[in-house]
Amino acid sequence: MTVADVLGQARAWLAQDPDPATSAELATLIASASNGEPAACADLEARFAGRLQFGTAGLRAALGAGPLRMNRVVVAQAAAGFAAYLREQIADREPFVVIGYDGRRNSAVFAHDSAELFAGAGVRTVLLPRLLPTPVLAFAVRHLGADAGVMVTASHNPPDDNGYKVYLGGADGGSQIVPPADGAIAAHIARVAERPITELPRSGAFEIAPESVIDAYVAATAAVAPAPGAAAGMTWAYTAMHGVGWETFARVLDAAGYPRPALTTAQLEPDGTFPTLVFPNPEEPGALDLAYATASAARAEFLVAHDPDADRLGVAIPDGDGWRRLTGNEIGLLLGLRAARAAAGAPGAALACSLVSSPGLGAIAERYGLDFHETLTGFKWISRAPSLVFGFEEALGYLVNPDTVRDKDGISASVALLGLAAEARGRGLTIANLLDEVTAEIGVYRDGQVALRVDDLSVIGRITSALRADPPTAFGDVPVDRADDLAAGGTDLPAGDVLRYALADGSRVIVRPSGTEPKLKVYLDVRGADAAEAQARLAALEAAVRRLLETLA
């Protein structure tokens, strides 16, 4: 594509952009590129080299002008294209969509634009009454019997990002979209994009959801684990990470009967700039430092953290003079054991996790006579596991109440965790003791991750292509027994850009590009006769993976 081609596309985009901020940004870039400035030309080409496509969690990108950024033009095209898809699929009546949004920059604007465009396209549209957690939107799709849902959020991504998650009701049960629906919606969006968004019909005839929807979510979530008597006097701490979780979570705590936590007040209110955080993700180093200070001052028994849209749960426990953040797998196995004990003996009941999450969940399912399903990454797949009673993925996502929410839900998972902590407290135990109980039942599992963040996505493609062309035969001193390329098919999972290696000592290495961030992720799982052996195997495997990536990058 020549500079002249890119400039032509950029000028056409500018003519339809209703946002003063992105219009000014693009106009400046066009002027600079027209004068031949290399950086401006490269920036424009990066914005107009294609279109955002539905990934693991829908559309997600940095805010900015152009079809490869999140902005009002992209959102308008997405809403109109999705509306056209719904009208095509539901031809005998008026389709029904519900829309939610969080506290990120432009989330409310994108949600209101979407509501006007859905209504203008002849789709009954209900907008949630204010910024709310993603799980409330996922709940509302099922609770209201909607045909579809849209949540404007970028979850735990950097502050400059935003996104657009799409759910389907009916036979899909309120789960996020999967193929072939994503491709069909993308085709409709592409057709919409052939004309300016100024020509798309809009209407203010959309509804605002009543408070009874949020009331119903609060009641259903509080019922996940009503507080036992041992919860009285329990001391714990909480951070919302500048997200939207606290208002709803507080109501759930009161309804379930749990004591209020010590609050990390500097991070309690929604703020899309995330002023106290470099990266608003409970998994990131330093993200919980303020919360640790709160927990220490309160002499808390444990700490709970939600990511900005409250669909993820982070947990930390005292560790010597400091705090230890539990891994996503540790939390998942705690909650999985809870679910397995409750479901034991139920015909067909199943546990599920993504293929990059701990194989320990399969061991729990086997121990309690439950079915087990391993899926591709993302709750759009986990939530569709047959007869599901619990599902999780290692990136702090947990589904504990599939009858009401078919997506990860950090609030309901928190209630389940609080119930476990309170019951343990009644036995004179801590969360650390509960982790020991998991190990006693299924053995010692350890996991790790190596992540390579890139500025140039072609680096990721180069590495995965090299691994496919010349698969590793060993990681360090441990031979590879089997290598699977899920993109090539031939496994029990749908095709995906995933490479999986089974090692001779029972360890596992899985390589996949992130679906939400510009990085390559390598997931490591080991099992040992005891903690020391498992940790040694994990350290050796991590070192071998790092050496391999350095060679290929």
Active site residues: 155
CB 62 within 8 A of CB 56: no
The separation between the first and the last C-alpha atoms of the chain, rounded to the nearest angstrom, is 27
How would you write 249-270 as a 3-class SS string? HHHHHHHHCCCCCEECHHHCCC
Cross-sheet strand order for the sheet of 313-319: 262-263, 237-239, 303-306, 313-319, 322-325
CB 153 within 8 A of CB 309: yes
Q: What's the burial of 184, exposed, middle or buried (CB within 10 Å: 0-12/13-18/19+)?
A: middle
CB 383 within 8 A of CB 391: yes
Distance CA 365, CA 222 (A): 26
* Cis bond before residue 196 (omega within 30° of 0): no
Smallest CA-to-CA distance from 182 within 349, 378, 341 is with 378
Q: Are strands 237-239 and 303-306 parallel, antiparallel or unpaired?
A: parallel
Neighbouring residues of 151: CB distance < 8 A, sequence distance ≥ 6: 99, 100, 101, 102, 134, 137, 138, 164, 165, 167, 309
Distance CA 84, CA 105 (A): 27
Distance CA 228, CA 257 (A): 8
Distance CA 269, CA 276 (A): 12
Retrieve residue 307's tokens: 């990511």
Distance CA 472, CA 459 (A): 18
Retrieve residue 200's tokens: 């798309």
Distance CA 208, CA 238 (A): 30
Smallest CA-to-CA distance from 274 within 301, 309, 302, 232 is with 309
* Bridge partners, residue 167, by sequence: 149, 176
- Collect contacts of 281-285 with beta carbons under 8 A, ≥24 apart: 281/156, 281/157, 281/307, 282/156, 282/241, 282/306, 282/307, 282/312, 282/314, 282/325, 282/396, 283/156, 283/314, 283/325, 283/328, 283/395, 283/396
